[in-house]
């Protein structure tokens, strides 16, 4: 690899010396480093040199062969939207505890990088979803999500009704606090907190999980990802929000339709050679501890 991007969580002071060391490490290997302009300005004394390239955040995925993300799972989710369909692998490095997406620790970072820059690495292909809002037949907004699209009532709102179909066939009208439409990657996020199943991330499916359903027999359901799910809001005069990966929001109106289906393309995450998925599960969820 000859061109590598670095994106770090904003307002994280401890990331500054880590990025500076990374830039020096790549310079010694004659590898160009691309960083967003806002990040470059945070360094005092400033970073400089012909190997360091400053670029707009939106342009970064087009110019590099890999992106290193320093932060947590939330930071990686924002970068996933940025990468889109550029097919650029992401190396997620957690600056705190171990993450489900940012599974590389600081202690093993340079050992992993030695392998990666030589092309000795394996990527994990993660499916993404396309979520759209349709209002009176017009497509109002469209989003791509790695974790989930969540329809949720406001803090003071009552239970909402969501008339849900799969490929045009009526499923049910969920009477609940909301509905989670999740990828396998997102199964360990909000879906898990709402009682949904943990799904191995390479499986091709979508998880539908009601949030606090009024009818207790409304349970999560796992369906193939080659279908189109539509949930129509059938409740008037309520504050209802569609949230995407917990980071973007869109206010819904009566009879708005949220359409969710598999998106084109996928996300490539570089796997740790020192840790497997089940080890991450055990550590994050504290399985086996008393």
31 CB-contact burial (10 Å; exposed 0-12 / middle 13-18 / buried 19+): middle
Phi, psi for residue 208 in degrees, rounded to 5: -110, 115
Phi, psi for residue 157 in degrees, rounded to 5: -80, 155
**CA-based R_g, the chain, Å:** 21
Residue 148 among the catalytic residues:
no
Query: Of 24, 73, 226, 256, which is the active-site residue?
Result: 73
Least Cα distance to 209 among 159, 164, 241 occurs for 164
Alpha carbons 239 and 261: distance in angstroms, whole number? 25
Asked whether the beta carbons of 7 and 39 are under 8 A apart, the reply is: yes
Alpha carbons 204 and 14: distance in angstroms, whole number? 37
Asked whether the beta carbons of 34 and 6 are under 8 A apart, the reply is: yes
Q: Which residues pair with 24 in a beta bridge?
A: none
How many CB atoms lie under 10 A from the CB of residue 33?
Answer: 23
Tokens of residue 148, six digits = 């989930």
Catalytic residues: 73
């Amino acid at each position: 690899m000859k061109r590598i991007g670095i994106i770090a969580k904003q307002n994280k002071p401890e990331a500054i010396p880590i990025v500076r060391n990374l830039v020096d490490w790549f310079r010694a290997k004659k590898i160009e480093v691309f960083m967003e302009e806002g990040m470059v300005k945070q360094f005092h004394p400033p970073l400089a040199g012909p190997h360091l390239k400053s670029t707009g955040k939106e342009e970064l995925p087009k110019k590099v062969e890999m992106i290193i993300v320093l932060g947590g799972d939330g930071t990686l989710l924002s970068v996933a939207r940025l990468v889109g369909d550029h097919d650029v692998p992401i190396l997620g490095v957690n600056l705190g505890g171990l993450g489900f997406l940012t599974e590389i620790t600081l202690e093993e970072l340079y050992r992993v990088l030695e392998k990666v820059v030589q092309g000795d690495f394996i990527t994990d292909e993660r499916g993404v979803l396309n979520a759209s809002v349709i209002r009176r037949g017009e497509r109002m907004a469209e989003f791509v999500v790695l974790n989930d699209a969540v329809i949720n009532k406001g803090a003071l709102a009552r239970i909402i009704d969501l008339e849900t179909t799969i490929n045009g066939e009526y499923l049910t009208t969920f009477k609940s606090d909301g509905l989670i439409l999740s990828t396998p990657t997102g199964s360990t996020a909000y879906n898990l907190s709402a009682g949904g199943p943990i799904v191995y991330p390479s499986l091709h499916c979508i998880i539908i999980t009601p949030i606090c359903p009024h009818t207790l027999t409304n349970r999560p359901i796992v369906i193939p990802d080659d279908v189109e799910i539509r949930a129509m809001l059938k409740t008037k005069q309520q504050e209802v929000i569609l949230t995407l990966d917990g980071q973007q929001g869109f206010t819904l109106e009566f009879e708005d339709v949220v359409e969710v289906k598999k998106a084109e393309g996928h996300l490539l995450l570089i796997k740790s050679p020192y840790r497997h998925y089940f080890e991450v599960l055990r550590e994050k969820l504290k399985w086996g501890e008393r």
